[in-house]
Amino acid sequence: MNADLSFNALPAFVRRATWIVIALLLIAAPFLIESTLGRSWVRITDVALLFIMLALGLNIVVGFAGLLDLGYIAFFAVGAYCYALLASPQLGVHWPFLLVLPLSAAVAGLFGILLGAPTLRLRGDYLAIVTLGFGEIIRVFLNNLNRPVNITNGPQGITLIDPLQIGGFSLAHTHELAGLTIAPVHSYYFVFLACAVLSIIISLRLENSRIGRAWMAIRDDELAASAMGINTRNVKLLAFAMGATFGGLAGGLFASFQGFVSPESFHLIDSIMVLCMVVLGGMGNVAGVVLGAVLLTALPEALRYIGPLQQSWFGEILVEPSDARMLLFGLALVLMMLLRPSGIWTSRRRRNAMPAATGESRAPV
Amino acid sequence: MPQSDVLLSATGISKHFGGLAALSEVSIAIRRGEIFGLIGPNGAGKTTLFNVLTGIYAADAGELTFDGKRIDGYKPHRVAQHGIARTFQNIRLFTSMTALENVMVGRHVRTRTGVLGAVLRTRGAIAEELAIVRRAYELLDYCGLTARANDLARDLPYGDQRRLEIARALATEPKLLALDEPAAGMNATETEALKALLERIRSDGVTLLLIEHDMKLVMGLSHSVTVLDYGEKIAEGEPAEVQRNAKVIEAYLGGGLA
């Protein structure tokens, strides 16, 4: 049975208590992490939350609607640059984030439709190639839109982007609150957490809705879906737009968090990473995708410790840490896919799609 | 509104694939409330005609009128909106979804909750979702699949998959239900149950268009039968007269006898 179902089978007060404990843990998390692992890990946690949003957005396109998108990071880039341009000295515009952030998400959504419209007839490999090209086009544009009119500042990127500011509370400054030191990484954590939780709720609600079912119907059999009265064109465009909106929101947050954006942050490898999070986590399953995003953000960072580790074990560094790190990361990906080919946390549907993977057989009686 | 006796009329439908004339000038008229049988040897163009009627192919020539409206050139989803639902010869269920969810997808065209309603869980959206679930269960029950509601479509036995396709099609509230070989691969008991189901659907007011190779079934059920061969209509009429038609016998038994 599904983990979710068995959780719902618990008495109401147990469920409520569980949620409260989870909420408290999430609130305490940045401080716990800082005191055990150091501040750099709080920053990594922030990034993980951004990747949760990205992975959930891509999950709508790839997991729900079954449209393979290899250029997804482009929407992250569009959101980031949209925020950067409207809240930095680059154009001399400093709009408030409450306006710029939704705008970044909306502009990215528009780009989602822009990508979706010409690719409606494509599926699978062909769609993957076109989206891959789209991702690169966006990056090349950002790299070159500094001449003749300087819009994006080319490869140098845009600096001095305004941090988030809520009322008079700037997230870029360190605050003291009830004896706690709240550094920017902590403040951003809470904003990102709120956005990530919102993304999770939206994803779950969409999944179990008329629209979510239409996406999955198209994923399973597009012709049958259209014969059932589903306007496949609109529903696919909607998937692209929704996915891109999540990406744009994450991008806007990223720009304000970093204070700096450049085309360097939006390479093909970043699209692939987000796709890995979706696939490894468990395509189509929201919980799995969240887990995938957290694991794949943390793992490369954790592997940075192999340098010091070698030092303490062998007294010298045998393998160049930067080489070994990506090597081990790749190995980890391969192992995960071998051990759990349909994802770490699979939805019921996918698990049954591969009975051999779990040893579970559901032969019709 | 005066209702014509004819629900669907196709006039002079032609469809070519390259040099092959899959359909040449085929005309049919399906009356309201009847079971209309479409038969013919393999490759006669039955499924092609189906695909033209349901908007999957655009006809090269001819007119389609359904319920008083021209529907030629409509995309499949608009055809479904106007009240033609279909099943497929090679079952096309949403295999990673449960039987219940498959039927719920069929309600898509008669419901309207969008992204906002779903995300905000508005009162209207919740009420509609409940109504979808309720109707889906009713239809599963109608087709004898209640026990299978939460099984994945791909895990259902063959006969159940065929009936699930019918339940899903009925969920779109069709005026015309087009069935492409619904009894294919069924054993005698399953076919008998299917026959009862189809008669019940008709008596509940849905007109049926039936492609079928099982002659006993199609002749027993249909009020009128049209025979296609090599993309042309070679006979039409009541089952008994069609069965006596020399051209039909020739088409089925081969030209050697002629």
Find, among A350, A226, A233, A214, the residue nearest to A281 by Cα.
A350
Residues from chain A that touch B128, judged by Cβ atoms under 8 A, are 210
- Give residues 157 to 216 of A whose Cβ lies within 8 Å of B: 201-202, 205-206, 209-214, 216
Q: What ipTM does the predicted assembly reach?
A: 0.93
Give the pairing type, strands B224-229 and B35-39: parallel
Decide if B152 touches A, using CB distance below 8 A.
Answer: yes
Half-sphere exposure (Cβ direction) of A31: Cα atoms closer than 13 Å: 10
Test the A interface: residue of B96, B100, B102, B190 with most A CBs within 10 Å = B96
Residues from chain B that touch A220, judged by Cβ atoms under 8 A, are 93-97
pLDDT in tens for each of the 365 residues of chain A?
Answer: 444 556 777 888 888 999 999 999 999 898 999 889 888 999 999 999 999 999 999 999 999 999 999 999 999 999 999 999 999 998 888 998 899 999 999 999 999 999 999 988 888 889 999 999 999 999 999 999 988 888 898 889 999 999 888 777 788 888 877 777 888 888 899 999 999 999 999 999 999 999 999 999 999 999 999 999 999 999 999 999 999 999 999 999 999 999 999 999 999 999 999 999 999 888 889 999 999 999 999 988 888 888 788 888 887 777 777 778 888 888 988 888 888 888 888 776 544 444 333 333 333 33
d(CA B82, CA A229): 9
Q: Which residue from B95, B155, B168 is facing A228, i.e. has the nearest CB?
A: B168
Inspect the interface and report whether the beta carbons of A213 and B118 lie closer than 8 Å.
Answer: no
d(CA A296, CA A345): 14
DSSP chain B: -PPPSEEEEEEEEEEEETTEEEEEEEEEEEETT-EEEEE-STTSSHHHHHHHHTTSS--SEEEEEETTEE-TT--HHHHHHHTEEE--SS----TTSBHHHHHHHHGGGG----HHHHHHT-HHHHHHHHHHHHHHHHHHHHTT-GGGTTSBGGGS-HHHHHHHHHHHHHTT--SEEEEESTTTT--HHHHHHHHHHHHHHHHTT-EEEEE-S-HHHHHHH-SEEEEEETTEEEEEE-HHHHHH-HHHHHHHH-GGG-
Inspect the interface and report whether the beta carbons of A220 and B96 lie closer than 8 Å.
Answer: yes
Residue with tokens 């239809």: B139
Give Cα A121 to chain centroid, integer Å: 26
Apex A102 CA angle, A96 and A104, nearest 5 = 90
d(CA A240, CA A61): 6
What's the length of chain A? 365
Say if CB A76 and CB A273 are below 8 A apart: no
| Other residues' Cβ atoms within 10 Å of the Cβ of residue A236 | 24
Q: Which residue from A220, A232, A365 is facing B77, i.e. has the nearest CB?
A: A232
